[in-house]
Amino acid sequence: MKKAEFIKATAAKAGVSQKDAQAVTAAVIEVIKDALKKGDTVPFLGFGTFKVSNRAARTGRNPQTGEAIKIAAAKLPAFKASPAFKEFVNAKKAAAKKAPAKKKK
C-alpha cells in the first residue's frame, strides 16, 4: 500500500476528507519523528512501539580490498509489534490451518 492509498483508506474509514486525512497522517509522522529524535519511545497499545535502537561501533571489511574499516556507532529507528497486533496479522493463517479442507465432489 502506497502513502496515497493509505490516506484514501484512512479518509474513508474516518469519514473525513482526503485533505484532512493527509494532514493528520503528516502530523502523526512528524510527532513520531520528533519523539524519536529526542530519544523517546512512542507506544501504541495493541499496535506496537516506535523506538530508537543503538548499533555499536564495529569493524567491517572493504569487500574489494579486504581492508579492515571502522564503522561508526549509529542510532536506528525501530518498530516492535505488540503481541496483539502479531496475533491479528497471523489470525487468518491460524484459522486456515485449523479449518478442515473441503472435499470436492
Q: Which domain holds residue 71?
A: 42-94
Give me the residues paired with residue 43 across strands.
49
pTM, rounded to two decimals: 0.72
Say yes or no to pLDDT of 53 above 60. Answer: yes
CATH code, 54? 4.10.520.10
Q: How many CB atoms lie within 10 A of CB 7?
A: 19
pLDDT, tens digit, 9 for 90 and up, residues 59-82: 999 999 999 999 999 999 999 999
The count of domains in the chain is 2
Mean pLDDT of the chain: 90
Q: Which amino acid is at 66?
A: G
Residue 36's contacts (CB-CB under 8 Å, 6 or more residues apart) are 42, 50, 51, 52, 77
Q: Are residues 57 and 82 in the same domain?
A: yes
Q: Are residues 28 and 51 in the same domain?
A: no
On whether residue 103 sits in a domain, the answer given is no
Q: Are residues 76 and 47 in the same domain?
A: yes
